[in-house]
Amino acid sequence: MTTHSDKDRVVIFDTTLRDGEQSPGASMTLEEKLEVADLLDLMGVDIIEAGFPIASNGDFEAVSEIAKRIKRTTVAGLARAINADIDRAGEAVKHAAKPRIHTFVSTSPIHLEFQMKKTEEEVLAIITATVARARGLVPDVEWSAMDATRTPIEYLCRCVDAAIKAGATTINLPDTVGYATPDEYRDMFRQVRERVANSDKAIFSVHCHDDLGLAVANSLAGLEGGARQIECTINGLGERAGNAALEEVVMAIKTRGDVLPYATGIEATLLTRASKLVSAVTSFPVQYNKAIVGRNAFAHESGIHQDGMLKNTQTYEIMTPASVGVSKTSLVMGKHSGRAAFRDKLKELGFELGENAFEDAFKRFKDLADRKKHVYDEDLEALVGDEIDTGQDRIKVESLTVICGTQGPQLATLTLSIDGNHKTIQASGNGPVDACFNAIKALVPNEAQLELYQVHAVTEGTDAQAEVSVRLGENGRSVTAKAADPDTLVASTRAYLGALNKLMMKNQKGRGEMMRAV
């Protein structure tokens, strides 16, 4: 039998904030990135790739803030094989307790010919110079061979050799286009490690994209080939079809220790919380049947399965819901429940609120319990995850009445408090949500574009709360806000205003510029 100490430690490198954020529409605000980074740190991730500092000032600021704040986990910044990129990444991670620069260059013939327009020898010289430059800034340097899986093995070995000689401490061989099969990927690592004389001087890393649905299988095959770092993202977020999902690689290693003799430092009971947080801040829903964190991942529907589960849960369950942090849906308290019980319940769900936020959440719980017969854990998660009024919001909903149905037009009568002054308007629209949003636009003229509007029911039943996400974009900046309410139109209006308030807070030039209240 394999004991834990026999197992090779696999380093978990999370790139949700970099490759994950590259998914179209998954951009996060600084505050959201900090929240995700804190949770990744708490969860035991070894390395957080916090962003691509040269890409924008926002990316630089996020990497730099995360570097200053996180004390246990290594913080990495990505850089192309360009001096300016490397210097910018070095600047961004310089305050980290454990800084890393991750620099990459393409190595495959197709990338060299069409994208880089460079010869193999030119790229080799670039690798030596840029890795050495990064090593001059930080002691921990990762080098990646972009499109490694479509690079001839001889040339790949020469590149890896050059990178290690120049000082790279981690060598990442990505399946950038998600093309490899598990056998090919494993063999590539075996061959490179055998052929490169100084390969034992570096840790080898996998980075797999999911274009053929093989990212997790390939990542595990890479371990067989000798890799000991896995690059992955929460919920498998990432370019195109995404990256290997962190929760899947971690639970595969944990559950199949008999054939995968490895260990990670991840606290698996936080996986569900991390999945929900990333889904909330990006507004990317998690597919219902997604492994580990999908809402149906532990649901047993058929009679035969339910019968087996009642007799012995191992008949149909290879891991327990509790092991990944799923608490059984439970009826919470009713309207008579007090503060102490409410605080205990929030703690069990992983929320510790400051006094003001707690009082606000408690009041909203009471209001909800008055209106909704059964209040479940999911309702509380939505309620607390809702954009809590920070006291800084300039615009608040005072009242909303909507007329809708077959006899159009749909009409919304909305009263807002704008900087403390009440304003009312009636607007029509192509449906009730459109009418509500038109009313907001009439009261608060602004240039923001609606980039995403998404509704989902928090629990089952027709009295379920609607959780609405709204993303607004303005001048290249996007913000997302959520709100939950049993009334979909109220939730929609509050989510829209939440995003508008955030955009205004972001607007450094401040009051009155973006908003011209009528």
Binding site for ligand KIV (CB under 6 A): 19, 104, 144, 146, 172, 174, 176, 207, 209
345 binds, among Zn ion, ligand KIV, none (CB under 5 to 8 A by kind): none
Taking Cα atoms as reference points, which of 115, 91, 123, 85 lies closest to residue 103?
Answer: 85
Judged by CB, which is closer to ligand KIV: 214, or 383?
214
The CB-of-15 to ligand KIV minimum distance in angstroms stands at: 7
Write down the least CB distance from residue 69 to ligand KIV, Å. 24
Q: Where are the alpha helices (DSSP H) in 178-302?
A: 182-195, 215-224, 246-255, 271-282
Q: Least distance to Zn ion from the beta carbon of 247, Å?
A: 18
Which of 12, 14, 17, 19: binder of Zn ion (CB under 5 A)?
A: 19
Give the SS3 label for residue 44: coil
> Smallest distance, Å, CB 488 to ligand KIV?
38
Six token digits for residue 336: 């008579």
* Cβ–Cβ under 8 Å, residues 134 and 90: yes
Q: How far is the CB of 106 from ligand KIV (least distance, A)?
A: 8
Residue with tokens 């070095």: 90
The number of CA neighbours under 13 Å toward the Cβ of 196 is: 27
Q: Give the C-alpha separation, 146 to 37, whole Å.
A: 25
The listed partner (ligand KIV, Zn ion, none) that binds 146, CB under 5 to 8 Å by sort, is: ligand KIV
Closest CA to 18 of 82, 83, 114, 100: 100
Which partner from the list Zn ion, ligand KIV, none does 273 bind, CB cut-off 5 to 8 Å by kind? none
Q: Which does 144 bind (CB under 5 to 8 A by kind): Zn ion, ligand KIV, none?
A: ligand KIV
Q: Smallest Cα–Cα separation from 238: which of 189, 191, 318, 178?
A: 178
Q: How far is CA 514 from CA 150, 446, 509, 510, in A?
A: 49, 6, 9, 8
Q: How far is the CB of 207 from Zn ion (least distance, A)?
A: 6
501 binds, among ligand KIV, Zn ion, none (CB under 5 to 8 A by kind): none
* 104 contact, one of Zn ion, ligand KIV, none, CB 5-8 Å limit per kind: ligand KIV
Residue number closest to Zn ion, CB atom: 19
Whose Cβ is closer to ligand KIV: residue 104's or residue 362's?
Answer: 104
Of 19 and 378, which CB lies nearer to Zn ion in the complex structure? 19
Query: Which residue do the tokens 């120049």 mark?
Result: 166
Q: How far is the CB of 172 from ligand KIV (least distance, A)?
A: 6
Nearer to ligand KIV, 211 or 317 (CB): 211
**By the 8 A CB rule, do 471 and 478 touch?**
yes
**Helix residue spans in 70-112 (DSSP H):** 83-93, 109-110
Comparison of 74 and 176: residue with beta carbon closer to ligand KIV? 176
Please give the Cα distance from 419 to 392 (Å, whole number).
10
Partner touching 124 among ligand KIV, Zn ion, none, CB below 5 to 8 Å by kind: none
Between 45 and 324, CB nearer to Zn ion: 45
- Cα separation, 133 vs 91, in Å, equals 13
Tell me which DSSP letter residue 411 carries.
Answer: E
Residue 64 interacts with which of ligand KIV, Zn ion, none, CB < 5 to 8 Å by class: none
Residue 55: burial class (beta carbons within 10 Å; 0-12, 13-18, 19+): middle
Which residue, 71 or 240, is less far from ligand KIV as judged by CB? 240
Nearest to 456 by CA among 400, 428, 410, 495: 495
Residue closer to ligand KIV, measured from CB, 85 or 360:
85
CA of residue 459 relative to chain centroid, distance: 23
Stretch that binds Zn ion, among 15-23, 37-45, 256-264, 319-327 (CB under 5 A): 15-23
Contacts with Zn ion by CB under 5 A: the residue count is: 1
Q: How far is the CB of 362 from ligand KIV (least distance, A)?
A: 44
Min dist CB 305 to ligand KIV, Å, is 38
Task: Please choose, out of 18-26, 63-71, 131-139, 220-228, the segment that lies near Zn ion by the rule CB under 5 A.
Answer: 18-26
Instruction: Name the site residues for Zn ion (rule: CB under 5 A).
Output: 19
